[in-house]
Amino acid sequence: MKKHVLALTRREEPSKKYELAYSEPAPDRLVVNGSIEGQTVRASLRKVPVPQFLLVDRGFHWINEYPYNR
């Protein structure tokens, strides 16, 4: 049986390790639960199709004369 755990470390302190459990209640959902430095963490993530990302949809531009998201 698979162990549904994310192992995280801090870049500045690699000796500090955290484990967060995750579950996939639906094909487009991911729920992450756990504790980091005594703080409870719960995140519900939703899968977004790749074509909906602005970088893919709009293309990459080195210079933007006006912010796109205003």
Residue identified by tokens 């977004």 is: 48
What is the identity of the amino acid at 23? S
What pLDDT score does 18 carry? 93
The pLDDT tens digits of the residues spanning 5-46 come to 999 998 999 999 999 999 999 999 999 999 999 999 999 999
At 43-56, the pLDDT tens digits run 999 998 877 776 77
Q: What is the Cα–Cα distance from 24 to 28, expressed in whole angstroms? A: 8
Distance of CA 6 to the CA centre of its chain: 11
Q: Which residues contact 60 (CB under 8 A, 6 or more apart)?
A: none
The Cα 63–Cα 55 span in angstroms is 14
The answer, as to whether pTM is greater than 0.75, is no
Segment holding 57, helix H or strand E: helix 54-58
